[in-house]
Amino acid sequence: MKINLNCREATRLVLEGEARSLTLGERLGLRSHWLICTACSRFVKQVKFMRGAMGRWKEYAEGDGTPPER
């Protein structure tokens, strides 16, 4: 995997990382890209936030209808 990723490649890897484990080279490429790209760094934070929100919603939907504890 190349170290200098563009934003499109970084976004693809972030989303692929939701479905599979990224290789060491892919993780290093992402981290180096995030050091120089604030937009992609922000995108990763948004993906993590959405993953957490969806997990809480799933717990709520499958539970007894009471909102999850924070």
pLDDT tens-digit series, residues 14-67 = 999 989 999 999 999 999 999 999 999 999 999 999 988 988 888 888 876 666
Instruction: Residue 53: give the domain boundaries.
Output: 7-62
Quote the CA–CA distance of 31 and 8 in Å, as a whole number.
14
Is 47 part of a structural domain of the chain?
yes
Query: What is residue 56's predicted lDDT score, i.e. its pLDDT?
Result: 86
Is 1 part of a structural domain of the chain?
no
Is 25 part of a structural domain of the chain?
yes
This prediction's pTM: 0.73
Is 20 part of a structural domain of the chain?
yes
Total number of domains in the chain: 1
Q: Provide CB contacts within 8 A for 36, sequence distance 6+.
A: none
Here the tokens at position 67 are 């909102």
pLDDT band at 8; cut points 50, 70, 90: very high
Is 30 part of a structural domain of the chain?
yes
